[in-house]
Amino acid sequence: MQQPTILNELRRMSARVGRNILLVQGAGGNSSIKDGDVLWVKASGTWLSDAENKDIFVPVALAAARAALAAGDERAPLASGAQTTLRASIETALHALMPHPVVLHVHSVNTIAWAVRTDSGEEFAARLQGLSWCRLGYHHPGLPLAQAVHKAIAQGNFDVLILGNHGLVVGAATCAEAEALVADVERRLALAPRDAAIADQDALQRICVGTDYRLPNDPLSHSTATDPHSLSIATGGSLYPDHVVFLGPAMPVLTDNANLAAETTRITAGGLPPPVAYLVPGAGAVIRNDVSAGAEAMLSCLALVTGRIPLAADVIYLSQVSEQALLNWDAEHYRQQLTANR
């Protein structure tokens, strides 16, 4: 199937956005552009940062996708002549529903840091004044989220969508306008991160000796454990879907007196998989040797988000039901597999 020239604009914009960790982490986020009755949307498990050097977009039959959604079916039928083995993004229904030619969905660190708080309503209203925007509570990605967006669209048009415990979606006429709108929202919602103590790398190295764990690649990841408030938030529950998918629910803590190998054995003896990562209070984080690049990115994201949530904020966590729905979701197992093979 021949790719339209406008797809090049989407590639360039997506790659720029995908390289900004404050907007996109790993395989998170997605983008799309409509070309007649074809919706070109990012494929599940691919990285926006790869948009210029890999074929990460798949063509979806737009009218058929909207009809499927109306019938309660989140499957995205590929356009006639599509030659790909990739699946369309989990959020394809959302992209199909939005009337804008270009739709960009990002896991903005600043947006998430606001959207997990119970007291952010007035702040959103003040900071987003002048924009056409809407805020939704948390909905499971895919069909449930698309159905919630469909109801919101029925109430009126908007260009900016704040997703509770999830991120930011914008719609615009062009790729340049979508990117500029995300930048504008980012400026309005910007939060300064707290300073955190430096990690005790020597102590972490000693903890990892003889185990399947190591220090994370990104030194920033340690701040979730070296800042007491970030540690409290991170161990209180899960804040957003990709955390659950790539790191597991909440974050396990390794106390001063605990042995990493023994603690991991205790957990696996109960039938659970070995934790992707541990937080060591006051020292930093450790991560499994065999984890994907996506898990590394999400450990960085956790530090970026928790470090921006104020001390007095009342945090909203995902429910256990929501966590289990994410962990048992075939679509996310597929995305994890692609990320692991990146």
Instruction: Count Cα atoms within 13 angstroms, Cβ side, for 57.
Output: 30
The parts of the chain modelled with pLDDT lower than 70 are 329-342
What pLDDT sits at residue 256?
73
What pLDDT sits at residue 335?
46
What pLDDT sits at residue 162?
98
What pLDDT sits at residue 156?
92
Closest CA to 44 of 111, 141, 138, 115: 141
What pLDDT sits at residue 334?
41
What pLDDT sits at residue 83?
83
What pLDDT sits at residue 255?
86
Closest CA to 331 of 14, 80, 92, 94: 92
What pLDDT sits at residue 85?
86
What pLDDT sits at residue 330?
63
Instruction: Count Cα atoms within 13 angstroms, Cβ side, for 301.
Output: 34
